[in-house]
Amino acid sequence: MDEIGSKAGAASDRDLRAAREDHAEAWLEQRMVLAIQGRVTDSDTLREWRGDQQSSFSATCRSFADDENEAEMTRAIGEESIVAGTIRWVRDDREGGTLSLNDCRIFAYDPGETVLAALPNDSAGLMLRPPEYEEAFAGPGEGISMSDVDRVLYAAEFNSRIDGFGNGYTQRDEDIYVLLRDGTAYRHAWNFAFTDLDIDLSRQREPDRWFSWRDSWGTVTLTQTGGLDAGEEIDLSNASRLMPVPQGQLLDGTYYYLNVGMGGRRSDRDYAFSANGELVHTRGGFVAGNFGTSYIIVSGDSDVAASRYTFDGYTLLIDGPDGEERHFVALIDGQDSNRPEEIIIDGQVHWLRKDEP
């Protein structure tokens, strides 16, 4: 693709990006069937992993040869496999890209039996691999120390949009920023608390989440220090300050999350906290929206789990049927900690249900 033009140039030139994609598609179409080895990362996606790096491009199956191959792809998530298919299209993203395949078939990969074609030096086709949950989680209290934290900020923006089928949806942009006393800052997006984060691994493998920050007469500005957007600034002057849940605090109320996304996809979550330490967590959703000339409704089953809970600073500990779960939790500064109007769970705001006594 670089013989057509650079990837850096294609990031700002749509015509060059399209030319790179067309060139790659034409080259791949000559191969008839592509066989790609890598780790199955989703029910339709495969990507090569090499330690802390991964292939710049992922392979995504747009269709499968039959239902059995589609089911096997789902069963193989997390395993090394080989996917064979024909090229449908190539998308050259700002970072990395996607090969879309038709008529996919999946095969088990045995390095002792399968010989793969290799290039003398293919490092140009690799990029940093973002850490998995298990890698980023250092352990309880093994991450950012509270003594190093200057403040924690929550920036949110909610906008009503219309998708291509005329369905209304809400675009939720919610970010948590941890500002440290040494002048650095971290955008926290994991479901566990930042106090459990593997800091060194994060700095190495997710550099786009790290910033420097300054406070000039109440105007808080972040400057990204890594990743493709290094040097870009973010104004957090209107962000809300977050506080940990007080030690021993128990809540008595139901907090809900409701969002209608693109395509009419609705997501519902309820956390019903009781003052006796019991918690009932309900999760559900359905799809209702216009698709072409049809209006489709697909309902999903609700998932209800009863457990017990405690708070430990920025961590919500849930002792449920599958063992202990650790979730990021925070209160918005200035609200009544005994009955807050809002609570942040896993980086998303949940509102107090007012129709309860």
> What per-residue string of b and e applies to 298-317 under the rule 16 or more CB within 10 Å gives b?
eeeeeeeeebebbbbbbbbb
Q: Is the pLDDT assigned to residue 257 strictly greater than 50? A: yes
The answer to which of 84-88, 202-206, 297-301 has the lowest mean pLDDT is 297-301
Confidence of residue 291 (pLDDT cuts 50, 70, 90): very low
Q: Is the pLDDT assigned to residue 312 strictly greater than 90? A: yes
Confidence of residue 289 (pLDDT cuts 50, 70, 90): very low
Q: Is the pLDDT assigned to residue 290 strictly greater than 70? A: no
Q: What is the pLDDT of residue 187?
A: 98
Domains in the chain, CATH or no CATH each:
7-129 (2.40.50), 139-242 (no CATH), 253-352 (2.40.128.300)
Dig out the tokens for 221 from the structure: 């500005």
CB 190 within 8 A of CB 136: yes
What whole-number distance in Å separates Cα of residue 82 and Cα of residue 68?
A: 15
What whole-number distance in Å separates Cα of residue 87 and Cα of residue 208?
A: 31
Beta-sheet strands, E only, within 93-227: 97-108, 126-128, 149-162, 168-180, 184-188, 210-216, 219-224
What whole-number distance in Å separates Cα of residue 290 and Cα of residue 155?
A: 32
The pTM for the full model equals 0.83
Which tens digit of pLDDT belongs to each residue from 6-40? 777 777 778 888 888 888 888 888 888 999 999 99
| Other CB atoms within 10 A of residue 321 CB | 7
- Length of the chain (residues): 357
Which tens digit of pLDDT belongs to each residue from 151-173? 999 999 877 767 665 666 567 78
